[in-house]
Chains A and B, each alone.
Chain A
């Protein structure tokens, strides 16, 4: 494998204009509608015309039968660079790094990265039953518990292996709910105590109600462009210091206790030129709290197996010792399909430009965002992460 130094940085490329279209638990609107709303907000706030968008990435589970291709005609866009990114929870960072290279190489100047999904009353069931071939043949017939059951198995194994307790996971969830109570778009804002967390009904042991995200409809978007274009448009820029992605890491692990981040994190930090302790905030992909804990370990904030101790030793709210999922994460804001893979990144862009809608992390300069996606069979396949810096170079 090539040495870490051979990977180029993203000089001159910035991300900007974080957009969240407020989520709804159920909505009769379709994915095209949600994505259009995000793009509309994006161009309005950037002060550009839709025709100025010359690059587009799209992530959605419910756009069928369309892809990014059909969307260009549907929305009247004529991009010279187009990507469809079906990576679920890893989509945000992957869209960012694809778009950043396109801008860096001159293939596009202004790339809109968008994710959006519908949530009709019956759409979650339909999506689960046809999610992937391996799920259809190998996991869904065994109780049809969907991701709850898959992550229950993983959580069960993790708890036994590393001694994590429900209280540890509860602390993550309670802190996120605390953050969410200040975030205007969060769907779940009722105060959550650790007692209430522990007393919640079981969903798929050891997963209980507040370990689960709530499926909903919504969209998220941001722009990737050159630093000089952002300056001319008067947009607050966030620089991209380093990114990684990995798919199907450690395929021989009998149960997933680590993700692809562990394989690539040394390079992530080396290219960024900083160490984990320089991070002012972390936005993890939190479909279940065990996955957030795994990201603390695999991104290098603590060693493997020390996730529970790390959680016990920190306060995880936006004003705490380790600000984490500062808008409340999917656990409290809701999981709007593929937009859930953008939520952390879009929130980091707000935090690093001092534009938080809820709690603002004080002096936030370096933000880390990680993504995790697609339980194809028994584990999440895609992992991604980015180190971002606020302000101009």
Chain B
């Protein structure tokens, strides 16, 4: 049984912060297909399109019929641990610092054997449930978990290396004034976050919900205005060294595309929050987080950007906002590249229309703030890098993956605008 993780003691400022080291990062290009599914929490393997044989490790041709027609498919997650070891020496620095390390051979129900990380609660020879996740190198790996939930299961130290669990971590929510901010604060506090910093812009402006927010356990209200570089830098100066998870939920959303407007004033406001706001946050908080990716139980672990699903493909009804969120999404790709090597995951959350004021005329189904917060916290606990919240966004994502250009035409045709 896993021992419950203890809340880490206050950090000794005289001690050197542990530099992030990485598990092996090199992979074949083919193996990246496993990685992108792992980032969504899907367990996939290659399967031959001609003979149906399942293949592992990732390869260029089927070892049964030599077909090169291999595609990634979701696989049954069950298996049996048929051999195991506890590794106590390694030439790799990351693992050396984390010895001993449990690994094993799993005979999958899918018919192939794989080598995987093994959770501490799995008994020798036991049935297991496989998960695929990204590791500190940002590469896809497998882990064998107990077939049934065990006590404190998420606290297993090898599993926690793959997740961004808020438990005992300190989280910054960039917009505490919104309904999503309040919902996130509640969900994170409930998940064991030790501090939830909630950013409030222009706190002198009275707003409903301040009391509700302040009443959430472990919430600390802080001044933060994403449109103001000084404000962002000041907050980073105060708490930048203890933000383990940053959730950027601030957004500036207005209806309208290009021709509906006669100037770029609103577009500028959108960019000021959605794009430049994100960049200010990255520049102020990113460097400290990048250096704290291996800082113990409450290491920096996730940068979470919430976007409308229309960041992926423009919806003219909210065309200008879509464009600013597309810009922010692209910036997030850049951040992921710059964070590589730190162990901090860049997490994209795509949501369908939120149930809030500026989207009031849109038809259901909409995403409630509570549902969005639940999906985000669950995604962090699982260690996902891509979270799709709500039915509209999930449907959108399916169509986007099928053919992004067909989807673009769907969204921009006249019927699509209703």
* A160-175 Cβ-contact flags toward B at 8 Å (1 or 0): 1000000000000000
Q: Interface extent on A, as a size class? A: 35 or more
Q: Is A328 an interface residue (CB 8 A)?
A: no
* A136-155 Cβ-contact flags toward B at 8 Å (1 or 0): 11111111111011001110
In the bound complex, CA of A212 to CA of B153 (Å): 34
In the bound complex, CA of A124 to CA of B30 (Å): 26
Most-contacted residue by chain A among B24, B28, B30, B101 (CB, 10 A): B24
CB neighbours (8 Å) of A142 from chain B are 103, 115-117, 141
Instruction: Determine whether the beta carbon of A138 is less than 8 Å from that of B103.
Output: no
* A199-210 Cβ-contact flags toward B at 8 Å (1 or 0): 001111111000
Instruction: Determine whether the beta carbon of A149 is less than 8 Å from that of B103.
Output: yes
Most-contacted residue by chain A among B85, B91, B137 (CB, 10 A): B85
Which B residues, 88 to 131, have Cβ-Cβ distances below 8 Å to chain A? Answer: 88-92, 94-95, 101-105, 107, 113-117, 125
Q: Is A125 an interface residue (CB 8 A)?
A: yes
Instruction: Determine whether the beta carbon of B83 is less than 8 Å from that of A156.
Output: yes
* B20-55 Cβ-contact flags toward A at 8 Å (1 or 0): 000110111011000000000000000000000000
Least CB separation from B34: chain A residue: A137
Contact of B141 among A141, A153, A160, A251 (CB under 8 A): A141
In the bound complex, CA of A144 to CA of B104 (Å): 12
In the bound complex, CA of A58 to CA of B137 (Å): 37
Least CB separation from B139: chain A residue: A141
Q: Is A133 an interface residue (CB 8 A)?
A: yes
Least CB separation from B108: chain A residue: A254
Q: Is B215 an interface residue (CB 8 A)?
A: no
* B127-167 Cβ-contact flags toward A at 8 Å (1 or 0): 00000000101010100000000000000000000000000
Most-contacted residue by chain B among A136, A144, A201 (CB, 10 A): A144
Instruction: Determine whether the beta carbon of B89 is less than 8 Å from that of A136.
Output: no
CB neighbours (8 Å) of A81 from chain B are none
Q: Is A182 an interface residue (CB 8 A)?
A: no
Instruction: Determine whether the beta carbon of A207 is less than 8 Å from that of B83.
Output: no
Q: Is A189 an interface residue (CB 8 A)?
A: no
In the bound complex, CA of A141 to CA of B135 (Å): 9
Q: Is B18 an interface residue (CB 8 A)?
A: no
In the bound complex, CA of A140 to CA of B114 (Å): 12
Least CB separation from A133: chain B residue: B28
Q: Smallest Cβ distance from A286 to chain B, in angstroms?
A: 19
CB neighbours (8 Å) of A157 from chain B are 82-83, 105
In the bound complex, CA of A148 to CA of B90 (Å): 9
Stretch at the interface among B56-64, B333-341, B363-371: B56-64
In the bound complex, CA of A148 to CA of B103 (Å): 12
Q: Smallest Cβ distance from B138 to chain A, in angstroms?
A: 12
In the bound complex, CA of A205 to CA of B107 (Å): 20
Instruction: Determine whether the beta carbon of A153 is less than 8 Å from that of B105.
Output: yes
In the bound complex, CA of A36 to CA of B63 (Å): 40
Q: Is B77 an interface residue (CB 8 A)?
A: no
Instruction: Determine whether the beta carbon of B24 is less than 8 Å from that of A129.
Output: yes
Instruction: Determine whether the beta carbon of B86 is less than 8 Å from that of A202.
Output: yes
Q: Is A245 an interface residue (CB 8 A)?
A: no
Q: Smallest Cβ distance from B325 to chain A, in angstroms?
A: 34
CB neighbours (8 Å) of B68 from chain A are none
Contact of A140 among B24, B85, B107, B117 (CB under 8 A): B24
A-B contact pairs, 8 of them (CB 8 A): A130-B26, A137-B27, A138-B58, A143-B95, A144-B24, A144-B95, A201-B88, A378-B105
20 more CB-based (< 8 A) A-B contacts, given A133-B57, A254-B113: A136-B26, A136-B28, A137-B30, A137-B57, A138-B58, A138-B115, A140-B24, A141-B137, A143-B90, A143-B101, A143-B103, A144-B94, A145-B89, A146-B91, A149-B85, A153-B83, A157-B105, A254-B107, A377-B115, A378-B115
Interface residues of chain A, those whose CB is within 8 Å of chain B, are 124-125, 128-130, 133-134, 136-146, 148-149, 152-154, 156-157, 160, 201-207, 251, 254-255, 377-378
